[in-house]
């Protein structure tokens, strides 16, 4: 599929019309593509556990993270409220020698491994399912599609597509590499039957960029150039009827974006029109090594977001089990 690099408005408009899921599940729907992840799909996904080995797909939540302040996003600030030092000094006020520790964390909800919710992105003032953005997300938060609406459903069959291993050098795609439908399909074909993608699946796309950042330093990982999905994959994202997709990069789609002047155009179609949940900054390396070793690329995945009421995105500790 070719793109007119000079016409992002036209290309976005055409993709949105072709890939729209508005009213597919009724005018009141708040779960978008999570509707594809049914109880039956979840039951089949749970049956994929064979060995019982598990992998956390989360990056660390600490000050040594990738954020540099863009749109006021910072790394997590972890502060102790009570410590062992306080207990030893006897200043906590508890009876019979009891002591304890307590802490607090302050952070943007999308500073590390996270889900983008359906209230995160708008297209020309419209949110998921055609609702006016100003009636969905206000200063009080997302009162319609807050991330808490999917806190109980994001668990099912996951499929890893290790595009970095299939098309990269040393398992890593270069920054600016646009992953097309052809790359996704070819990767699944190389990996075998367990990598077949279908309705209700949670798709994990590894580019290898996090591997590089872990080795060389964060650099511009947060917001800079990156491998990622091409805008032309909008049709594939819609047609496959997947429940969600997550990558090991900051922004899911290729950066720089594929138009002369644009910012995250695939988000503009995927979230408000397809109703697709997007995961970013996931750590897929250990899972990818295991998949390459045993040749099995699907697994059980539980990835419930922290149900912050009204949030348009939330941290998650995804756990894959094989």
Both tokens of residue 111? 């500073």
pLDDT score recorded for residue 1: 65
- Of the chain, the end-to-end C-alpha distance in Å amounts to 36
Please report, for residues 98, 196, 207, 257, 262, the alpha-carbon distance to residue 176 in angstroms, rounded to integers and kept in the order given.
56, 26, 11, 8, 14
Q: What integer pLDDT is reported at residue 273 of this predicted model? A: 98
Q: Identify the CA nearest to 197 among candidates 228, 164, 165, 159.
A: 159
Q: How confident is the model at residue 2 (pLDDT cuts 50, 70, 90)?
A: confident
List pLDDT tens digits, range 184-235. 999 999 999 999 999 999 999 999 999 999 999 999 999 999 999 999 999 9
What does the pLDDT look like over 229-285, one tens digit per residue?
999 999 999 999 999 999 999 999 999 999 999 999 999 999 999 999 999 999 999
Mean pLDDT of the chain: 97
For 8-70+108-321, CATH gives: 3.50.30.50
What's the CA gap between 190 and 210, in Å, rounded? 22
The reported pTM is: 0.97
DSSP secondary structure string for all residues of 108-156: -TTSSSEEE-TTS--BTTB-GGG-BHHHHEETTEESSS-GGGGTTT-EE
CA dist., res. 260 & res. 245, Å (int): 26
Domain ranges within the chain, ordered by starting residue: 8-70+108-321, 77-106
Q: pLDDT class for 178, splitting at 50, 70, 90? A: very high
């Amino acid at each position: 599929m070719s793109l007119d690099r000079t016409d992002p408005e036209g290309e976005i408009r055409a993709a949105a019309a072709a890939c729209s899921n508005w009213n597919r599940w009724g005018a009141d729907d708040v779960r978008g593509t999570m509707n594809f992840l049914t109880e039956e799909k979840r039951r089949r996904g749970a049956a994929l556990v064979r060995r019982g080995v598990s992998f956390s797909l989360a990056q660390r939540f600490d000050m040594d993270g990738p954020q540099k302040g863009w749109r006021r996003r910072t790394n997590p600030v972890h502060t102790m409220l009570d410590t062992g030092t306080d207990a030893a000094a006897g200043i906590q006020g508890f009876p019979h020698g009891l002591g304890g520790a307590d802490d607090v964390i302050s952070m943007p909800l999308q500073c590390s491994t996270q889900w983008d919710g359906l209230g995160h992105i708008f297209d020309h003032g419209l949110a998921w399912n055609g609702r006016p953005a100003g009636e969905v997300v206000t200063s009080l938060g997302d009162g319609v599609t807050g991330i808490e609406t999917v806190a109980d459903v994001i668990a099912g069959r996951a499929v890893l597509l290790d595009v970095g291993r299939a098309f990269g050098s040393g398992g890593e795609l270069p920054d600016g590499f646009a992953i097309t439908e052809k790359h996704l399909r070819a990767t699944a074909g190389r990996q075998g039957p367990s990598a077949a993608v279908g309705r209700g699946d949670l798709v994990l796309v590894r580019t290898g960029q996090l591997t590089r950042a872990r080795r060389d330093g964060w650099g511009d990982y947060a917001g800079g150039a990156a491998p990622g999905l091409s805008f032309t994959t909008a049709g594939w994202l819609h047609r496959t009827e997947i429940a969600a997709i997550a990558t090991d990069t900051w922004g899911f789609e290729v950066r720089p974006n594929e138009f002369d002047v644009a910012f995250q155009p695939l988000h503009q179609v995927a979230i408000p029109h397809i109703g697709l949940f997007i995961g970013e900054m996931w750590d897929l390396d250990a899972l990818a090594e295991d998949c390459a070793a045993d040749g099995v690329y699907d697994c059980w995945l539980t990835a419930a977001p922290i149900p912050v009421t009204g949030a348009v995105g939330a941290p998650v500790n995804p756990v894959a089990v094989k």
